[in-house]
Amino acid sequence: MGTKLYVGNLSYSTTEGDLRSMFEKAGAVSKCDLIVDKFTSRSRGFAFVEMATQADTDKAIEQINGQELDGRKLRVNEARPREDKPPRRNFRERS
């Protein structure tokens, strides 16, 4: 089991600092990445939080999953490994 958590159903107004302070109540946070849109710099509604130990990870899931932050109930679970996707097809290149 890993120590990286997926945090979903975030409000667009939630900041990385808000998220970090909420998870620090459950244990030591190693890393907090709020995913933002590259064009608008607005939150995309999810984040990844990495906890220092497996015990902190389990405690964070137990304490924070279903809790409310900025008017939204958070969904917290262990992050799955990123899937390899086939490359996008470039429509400009035609034979």
Q: Rounded to the nearest 5 degrees, what angle is found at the Cα of 60, between the Cα atoms of 30 and 52?
A: 25
**57 in a domain, yes or no?**
yes
**88 in a domain, yes or no?**
no
**50 in a domain, yes or no?**
yes
Confidence (pLDDT) at 59 = 96
pTM of the model: 0.82
Residues 6+ apart with CB under 8 A from 30: 3, 50, 51, 52
**47 in a domain, yes or no?**
yes
Q: Note down the domain range covering 44.
A: 4-78
Strands 4-8 and 29-36: unpaired
Per-residue pLDDT of the chain (95 residues; tens, 9 = 90+): 568 999 999 999 999 999 999 999 999 999 999 999 999 888 899 999 999 999 999 999 999 999 999 999 999 999 988 787 777 776 665 55
CATH number of residue 40's parent domain: 3.30.70.330
Confidence (pLDDT) at 93 = 58
Tally the domains of the chain: 1
Confidence (pLDDT) at 20 = 95
